[in-house]
Structure 1
Amino acid sequence: MASITDYIDFSQTSLHCPIADAPSTTTVAAAAIAFNPIFWKANLNTHDSIVARQEYRNHFLTRIFGSPYNGCYVLAVAIFSLGILRDHLYNRALADQPLYQPVSQPYLAYGLFTTGNTLVLSSMWALGLTGTYLGDYFGILMDAPVTGFPFNVTGSPMYWGSTLSFLAVALYKGKVAGLLLTLEVFVCYWLALKWEE
């Protein structure tokens, strides 16, 4: 009977940071996946993000950057940059993992990646920059709730679109480690949604 170590190679040097005794890139990728929604969305005690709650209560970004819009734009750059870093760490963690042929499904991956990115990009288009990046915590409110596509398909198109994109990369590359990290993405977003309720 096969074990998980047959499909995830923990001994690969690419899994380890160049600094001696540093955590593996898989561990760093897992930490980045968990950190992002905690940073911008979920705080166990307040049901809000660490940054968003501080802005809502204390207007610290508004004061630092001179206006609610400037503060929101800076937060948007931070959130977007953390997402790019997370995606880079995810890809780096998968780079030297063994290929498991049954997981390698490039055509399914193309469909999932297209669907996932359609959900993410169309929701960003519908919400605009300040709607996407927590503008409501800065007092920047939309005129009405967005109910058209993709929000008429799912209430959380960014979460599920992002999850589909992670799954697509794992299937495209045929990496079991990618499936496990995708499961972590799913759980983190699912918990973030539970905290929002």
Structure 2
Amino acid sequence: MASVQLSELVDFSQKSLLISAVSIAFNPTFWNIIARQEYHNKVLTRLFGGKSQTACYFLAATIFSLGIVRDLLYERALRHQPSHPLLETKEVTYFGFALLALGNLLVVSSTWQLGITGTFLGDYFGILMDDIVTGFPFNVTDAPMYYGSTMSFLGSALVYAKPAGLLVTVFVLFVYLVALRFENPFTAGIYAKRDAERAAVSKSDTKKTR
């Protein structure tokens, strides 16, 4: 059996593939930079006259819109890529649709659990959750939005029967894992600070009642 080169499976000359990859990397980079600027300097809150919730909703709409653009660019890139016979089977197509359904379930259910502000970085605006969400899908994975999105990318690659989509999915997972390494410790620090302040207030109140 003749060996197959990666260049035969993926058409790297298509600019749409590069544009899709740039969009994938740009989105989490953008919202992490903006969110940290908000946390440290209240950039968006000041822009919206001190209304942190309005500013958070604006960022949510921006992130959501960028996600739609990213998905459209990914679909466009797949259409410009060669298909492969091994992926053009009913079984692979059905599995692709199953991944799309499960991925979207993780994304939608996590948004339902967290709400708009909880999903779209409300923590950085000072809009904190009262308690840690432990129900589905957070009892399955601690990052259902990211893993659900990755599953959707993979599902689309299989439905379209495009090897390039498999390569892009690996890149998506890498980008999200890097983002998590920055986001998780920072978010944990926000809540640790909140808990420390609550403990200090509680301790002060206890002293006053003595």
How far the C-alpha of 1:9 sits from its partner, in A, is 2.8
Instruction: Give the aligned partner of residue 171 of structure 2.
Output: 184
Partner secondary structure for residue 147 of structure 1:
coil
* Bigger radius of gyration: 2
Q: Counterparts of 1:10-25 in structure 2 under 5 Å? A: 10-11=12-13, 15=14, 24-25=15-16
How far the C-alpha of 1:60 sits from its partner, in A, is 1.1
Instruction: Give the aligned partner of residue 111 of structure 2.
Output: 124
1:35 equivalent in alignment to 2:26: yes
Partner secondary structure for residue 64 of structure 2:
helix
Partner secondary structure for residue 153 of structure 1:
coil
2:137 to 140, 150, 167: 150
1:2 equivalent in alignment to 2:12: no
Unaligned runs of 5+ in 1: 16-23, 41-48
In the alignment, the residues of structure 2 paired with residue 191 and residue 178 of structure 1 have an alpha-carbon distance, to the nearest angstrom, of 20
In the alignment, the residues of structure 1 paired with residue 56 and residue 165 of structure 2 have an alpha-carbon distance, to the nearest angstrom, of 32
Report the TM-score when normalising by structure 2: 0.82
How far the C-alpha of 1:5 sits from its partner, in A, is 1.9
1:87 equivalent in alignment to 2:71: yes
In the alignment, the residues of structure 2 paired with residue 169 and residue 154 of structure 1 have an alpha-carbon distance, to the nearest angstrom, of 21
The number of equivalent residue pairs is 178
How far the C-alpha of 1:86 sits from its partner, in A, is 0.7
Of 177-186 and 1-10, deviating more is: 1-10
**Which amino acid in 2 is paired with 1:27?**
L
In the alignment, the residues of structure 1 paired with residue 18 and residue 76 of structure 2 have an alpha-carbon distance, to the nearest angstrom, of 11
In the alignment, the residues of structure 2 paired with residue 108 and residue 8 of structure 1 have an alpha-carbon distance, to the nearest angstrom, of 21
| 1:8-53 residue CA offsets vs partner (Å, 9 max, x unmatched) | 2345xxx3xxxxxxxx11101001111111112xxxxxxxx21111
**Which amino acid in 2 is paired with 1:25?**
S
Instruction: Give the aligned partner of residue 37 of structure 2.
Output: 54
| 1:96-137 residue CA offsets vs partner (Å, 9 max, x unmatched) | 211102123111011111110000000000000000000011
In the alignment, the residues of structure 2 paired with residue 187 and residue 82 of structure 1 have an alpha-carbon distance, to the nearest angstrom, of 19
Partner secondary structure for residue 85 of structure 1:
helix
| 1:42-98 residue CA offsets vs partner (Å, 9 max, x unmatched) | xxxxxxx21111111111111111200110011001111111111111011111211
Instruction: Give the aligned partner of residue 201 of structure 2.
Output: none
Unaligned runs of 5+ in 2: 186-210
In the alignment, the residues of structure 2 paired with residue 70 and residue 192 of structure 1 have an alpha-carbon distance, to the nearest angstrom, of 25
Taking only the aligned residue pairs, the percentage that are identical comes to: 54
- The 8 Å contact of residues 45 and 52 in structure 2, kept in 1 or not, is answered as yes
2:46 to 55, 60, 63: 63
**Which amino acid in 2 is paired with 1:115?**
L
Partner secondary structure for residue 167 of structure 2:
helix
Instruction: Give the aligned partner of residue 113 of structure 1.
Output: 100
Instruction: Give the aligned partner of residue 19 of structure 1.
Output: none
**Which amino acid in 1 is paired with 2:22?**
A
Flag as ranges the 4+ runs of structure 1 deviating above 2 A: 194-197
Instruction: Give the aligned partner of residue 44 of structure 1.
Output: none
